[in-house]
Amino acid sequence: MENDLLLQKALRSFLEGYKLDTQSRIAIALSGGPDSMALAHALCNVADQKNIIIHAFIVDHNLRDNSAAEAAHVANIVDSFPRLNVHILTRSKQQKGAARLQETARDDRYALLESACIERDIQHLFLAHHQDDQAETFLFRLAKGSGLDGLGGIKPKQKRGALYLCRPFLDISKTELLEYCARNNVPFVTDPSNEDDQFARVRLRQARAVLEEEGLSAKRLSVTARRLQRAQSALHVMAAQAFERARTRNKAEENDSKRLSLSLDELSAQPDEIRLRVIQMAMDELQASSLVDDVKKTGSYGPRLERVEDLCEALFSQATFKRRSLGGMLFSKDVAKRLIIVELERKDAKLESS
C-alpha cells in the first residue's frame, strides 16, 4: 500500500506542477512492459479522481513478425482502465540488420508519438523511465565519454519539439514497479530484446550486479545524475547571462536570423566551460530560427562535444584563426573589431570543415 501511495504522490506532483486538471488531455507511451503498465494503471486511477482524459499510444515497432499481435494484446489488457483512450501507431518496417537498430526505432517511435499528440492537441506525454533506466543511461553515457550535460542523464521534465516529456518515476526502482503490478494484478508483456546482449544497454544491465557490489547501485547513480543536473542548470544560467553580455547587435544583424556576433573580449574573460556553452547557445539559436535544410540535417543532438571543444580551443588560442564550418555553421574571427562571428553556412561554401 505504501508503494502505491509513492507512485500516486509522484504522479500528483507532476499533474499539479503542470496545472493539469479537469478536462485536461495527456498521453502515455505504452509499451506493455511492467514499467509503462504500472504508469498507466496508477495514472488512470489518479486521473479519474481529477477528471483528466488520457490517451495511451501503443507503437507497433515492426521489429518482430508478431509485433502487430503484441500491440493488439497490450491494447486489450488496458481496455478496461478508466478514462483511457487507446490507439495503436504503426512504424514502417525496416530491413533486418539495419545499423543502429534500437536508436532508429526509438527516434521513429518518438516521431510517431509527437505526431499523434499534435493531432489530438496533447502537450504532455508521460513516459515510464525509472531509477534503473537512469542508472543505465549514466553508465552508457559515461562509456561514450559524455560531458556533464550527458551524465546528468534523463530529465524528469523535458521539452521535445511540441511536447513536454514527463517522467514521474525516475526516483522509483524497477523492483517497486514490478511489485506494484503484482499487488494490483496488472498484467504485462516481456520484450525479448531486453535480454539480447547484442545491445549495449543490455550488457550494461548485466554488468550492474558487479558494480552494485562496489557501491554503484541504481539509487546512488541516480542521485549522482540528479546532482549533475543541478550543476548543469547553474552553468546554463551563467552561460545564458554571458551570452547576452557577449552578444553584439549592429544594425545589419538586428533583423538577420542567419548571423550573430559575440564579443571576443567578453568571452575571453570567461572560464572554458562557459565559453563552450555560449558557442553552443549561438549555434542553437541560429539553427532554431533557420529554415535551411542543410542545417536541419545536423540532427537534434548537434555536433559531437569533442568537435565543439576543438573549435572553441582554436577560437580562443589561435591568433590567426582560419574560418571553418561545424554543424551547418560558419565561424570566423574579426581581430580588429574583437568579434567572433557565427553564421549559417551557404550551400556553395567550400571551407575546411572542423
- And the C-alpha cell for 116? 499523434
**Range(s) for CATH 3.40.50.620 in the chain?**
2-228
State the average pLDDT for the chain. 86
Instruction: Indicate if the pLDDT at residue 292 is higher than 80.
Output: no
- Say how far residue 72 (Cα) sits from the centre of its chain: 28
The pLDDT value recorded for residue 107 is 85
What's the CATH code, domain 2-228? 3.40.50.620
Instruction: Indicate if the pLDDT at residue 244 is higher than 70.
Output: yes
Instruction: Indicate if the pLDDT at residue 194 is higher than 70.
Output: no
Instruction: Indicate if the pLDDT at residue 90 is higher than 70.
Output: yes
- Strands in 247-248's sheet, in edge-to-edge order, are 247-248, 259-263, 339-344, 329-334, 324-326
In this prediction, what percent of the chain has a pLDDT beyond 90? 55
Query: When comparing pLDDT for 195 and 157, which is higher?
Result: 157
Query: When comparing pLDDT for 208 and 262, which is higher?
Result: 262
Mean pLDDT of 223-247: 96
Per-residue model confidence as pLDDT tens digits over 212-229:
888 889 999 999 999 999
Per-residue model confidence as pLDDT tens digits over 293-351:
443 443 456 788 999 999 999 999 988 898 999 999 999 999 999 999 999 987 655 55
Q: Which amino acid would we find at residue 269?
A: A
The pLDDT value recorded for residue 37 is 96
Q: Which amino acid would we find at residue 92?
A: S
The pLDDT value recorded for residue 162 is 83
Query: When comparing pLDDT for 68 and 352, which is higher?
Result: 68
Mean pLDDT of 84-92: 91
Cα separations in angstroms, 52 against 22, 46, 55, 246, 284: 5, 9, 10, 46, 35
Instruction: Annotate 97-145 with DSSP letters as a single string.
Output: T-TTHHHHHHHHHHHHHHHHHHHTT--EEE----HHHHHHHHHHHHHTT
- And the C-alpha cell for 25? 488531455
Q: Which of 183-192, 264-273, 291-300 has the highest mean pLDDT?
A: 264-273
- And the C-alpha cell for 217? 547501485
> Residue 208 and residue 190: Cα distance in Å, rounded?
20
Mean pLDDT of 131-148: 90
What backbone phi and psi angles, to 5 degrees, belong to 20? -95, 120
The pLDDT value recorded for residue 299 is 43
Cα separations in angstroms, 302 against 146, 176, 195, 210, 212: 14, 36, 31, 34, 34
- And the C-alpha cell for 213? 557490489
Confidence label for 290 from pLDDT (cuts 50, 70 and 90): low
The pLDDT value recorded for residue 31 is 93
